Structures are given as C-alpha cells and as structure tokens.
Amino acid sequence: MTRLGVEIGGLSLKNPVLTASGCFGYGLEYDDFYDVAELGGICTKGLSLHPRAGNPPERICETPAGMLNAIGLANVGVEAFCRDKLPILRERGVTVVANIFASSIADFVAITERLNRETGVAAVELNVSCPNVSEGGIEFGKDARMCGEVTRAVRSVTKLPVWVKMSPEAGNIVAVARACEEAGADAITAINTIRGMSIDVEQNKLRLANRTGGFSGPALRPIALRIVWEIAGAVSIPVIAIGGVSTTRDALEFLLAGATAVQVGTANFADPSAAKRVVDGLRAHCETRNVTVKSLIGSAR
C-alpha cells in the first residue's frame, strides 16, 4: 500500500489531490509547469452535450479572500472533448474525471453514454449544482428526490464510478447526499460554489453581467468544511472535499474532517502548481510522521 494512495469506490488514486472542475481547463495548459499525471486526478471543465459559448463579460470579480464567477459553463462539448482532449490525457496517463452537466435527465444520460465509449475516463462527476445558468441544474442539486433520480439514471447506464457534486444551497444537504448514495453514487463531491453578488458602487452597476456568480476561494473554506463534516458523518461512501484548498494545511483540514480526497480549485489561478504543491506537502507530512493518508481520514472526528 502506498503512503498517499486512497480508494474511491472501486477507483484507486495515487494520491488524494485532484483539481476542481472549471479551475484547470482540460488539464492541457500545464506543460510548462508540471506533469499533471502526478496528481490523484483532474476534473474536467463541465462538459455538456453540445458546445456552449458561456456568459457575456464580465464573468469574474474578486471579493474578500474569494471570487465570484459566472462563466456560464462555457465548454467544448462532450464530443470535442472525447476527440481532441481525452486522447492526449490518456496518452499521458492522467486520471481523468469527466465533470458533466445537463438540464435534463435524458441529456445527463446521453453525455454519460458518449463517455462510455471512451477509454481513459476514470469517473463521471455529475454537476447538479452549477449556479450560473438558469437551466444548469441547481434545481436538481437542491432537491433530494430529483438528485437521486439523476444519479440513478446515470448509474443505470454506466459502469464508470459516479460522483455527485453537491450544491451548498440545498436546504438539507445531508438528505441530498443520502439520496445520491441510495441511488448508487460511488462518492459525494462537496461543495460547488454558493451564489454571490458584487456591485461597483462608483459606477452603480453589478459587477457580473449574469448578476450573480459562484463564490469560491479561501473565504469559502469554513462553510465547505462544515458541510463535508456533516456529509461524511451521514453517508458511508467516500466524500471528496472542495472549497478553498490552496495549501497542505487546508487539504489536511478536510482529510481530518473525514474527506477521502480533496480538489484544488481557485488556488490554481494564483499558482498553476498549487495542486502539485499540495501533493508534495502531503507526502512530506506523511513521511515525517510515518503515517498514511488513509490513517488521517476522519481522525479529528
């Protein structure tokens, strides 16, 4: 057994550090920085059935220790992904989690079926919680029953591990997570962004063309940690934590709280090697203490 390795459902990851969807492109912009295959895995930008141009500018703005984004799920579409991006990633030995979203169960199924035809996809992550497009699924994400249905539908058409990404805006997020577990999810990913807003008071105008945007970054971490703790106490499948991870310390905070792995999002922007730094830091941490990552999981509970 390796020191850093973890298992998520049937899937073994060489370490518990992935990159978060939408914060790492398709993993192909990092050649100048490091070998992305060294990560536990990457989550792709959210893939839809058809390509999407995304929202008009402004799409991003900064807030205290965080940022808002309203990208609007701009993406190349699942077809172009399979054709242009996946082969390169597969070739390089990158563990690829395909983050997908749709506004109907039928489309979730269709995207999954397209991915079924490829090798090199390690898991599908269902984004039922994107706050930035009206049809983007946040309504799925807030409702336990609907979330369970999406999960069950995808589950029934694929052998790939299915991860479901939670919306922190669900009134009862634990119920949503449990519904997904029951519907056959292999892991819960938590959390997606929370909708926020910002106004430029000098110009008396909203900073984002979409009005609201998803709130991410270090500021979000305490909320994400609480939710991860809650979910990890309520389900028996692994929880993959996201929200403001930028240092080894941050990753440990989530692991100790019960997460089996973490995803690094916004931190990639200031430092393209952020996720790699966390892998190295965890390795040093575990070597110094002669422990495995697995033994740390949930140890603060």
Partner 1 sequence: MSTRVLAKRRLVTLALLRRESIGGLYHVLTFEDPDGSAAQPGQFTMVRGAEWGDAPLLPRPMSYLTAGHAPSILIKVIGEGTLRMGRAEPGEPFTLLGPLGEPWRAPTPGRRVVLVAGGVGVAPLVFLARAIVEAGGPKPIAIYGGRSARDLPLDDDLAELTELHTTTEDGSRGARGRVTDILGDLLGPDREVFTCGPDRMMAKVAELCALRDVPCEVSLETPMACGYGVCLGCPVPTHDGAYLYACTQGPCVDARRVDWSRGDHAPKKGAHLPRSQT
Ligand X SMILES: Cc1cc2nc3c(=O)[nH]c(=O)nc-3n(C[C@H](O)[C@H](O)[C@H](O)COP(=O)(O)O)c2cc1C
Provide the annotated active-site residues. 130
Residues contacting 256, CB < 8 A, separation 6+? 296, 297, 298, 299, 300, 301
Per DSSP, what are the bridge partners of residue 130?
137
Encoded tokens for 8: 């998520």
DSSP-assigned states of every residue in 33-59: T--GGGSSEEEPSPB-SS-B--PPSP-
Question: Should residue 66 be labelled a site residue for a copy of itself when binding is judged by CB under 8 A?
Answer: yes
The length of the chain, given as a count of residues:
301
Angle CA 266–269–271, to nearest 5 = 110
Question: Should residue 277 be labelled a site residue for ligand X when binding is judged by CB under 6 A?
Answer: no
In angstroms and rounded to an integer, the radius of gyration of the C-alpha atoms of the chain is: 18
Partner from a copy of itself, ligand X, partner 1, none contacting 10, C-beta within 5 to 8 A by type: none
Question: Should residue 216 be labelled a site residue for ligand X when binding is judged by CB under 6 A?
Answer: yes
Three-class SS of residue 125?
A: strand
Q: How far apart are CA 44 and CA 167, in angstroms?
A: 18
Question: Should residue 99 be labelled a site residue for ligand X when binding is judged by CB under 6 A?
Answer: yes
Question: Should residue 13 be labelled a site residue for a copy of itself when binding is judged by CB under 8 A?
Answer: no
Question: Should residue 170 be labelled a site residue for a copy of itself when binding is judged by CB under 8 A?
Answer: yes
| Closer of 90 and 226 to partner 1 (Cβ) | 226
One residue of 4, 147, 245, 259 binding ligand X per CB under 6 A: 245
Pick the piece of the chain touching a copy of itself (CB under 8 A) from 35-43, 59-67, 85-93, 99-107: 59-67
One residue of 2, 7, 10, 29 binding partner 1 per CB under 8 A: 29
Pure H helices in 20-80: 77-80
| Closer of 99 and 153 to ligand X (Cβ) | 99
Chain contacts with ligand X (rule: CB under 6 A)? 20-23, 45-46, 69, 71, 73, 99, 127, 130, 165, 192-193, 214, 216-217, 220, 242-245, 264-267
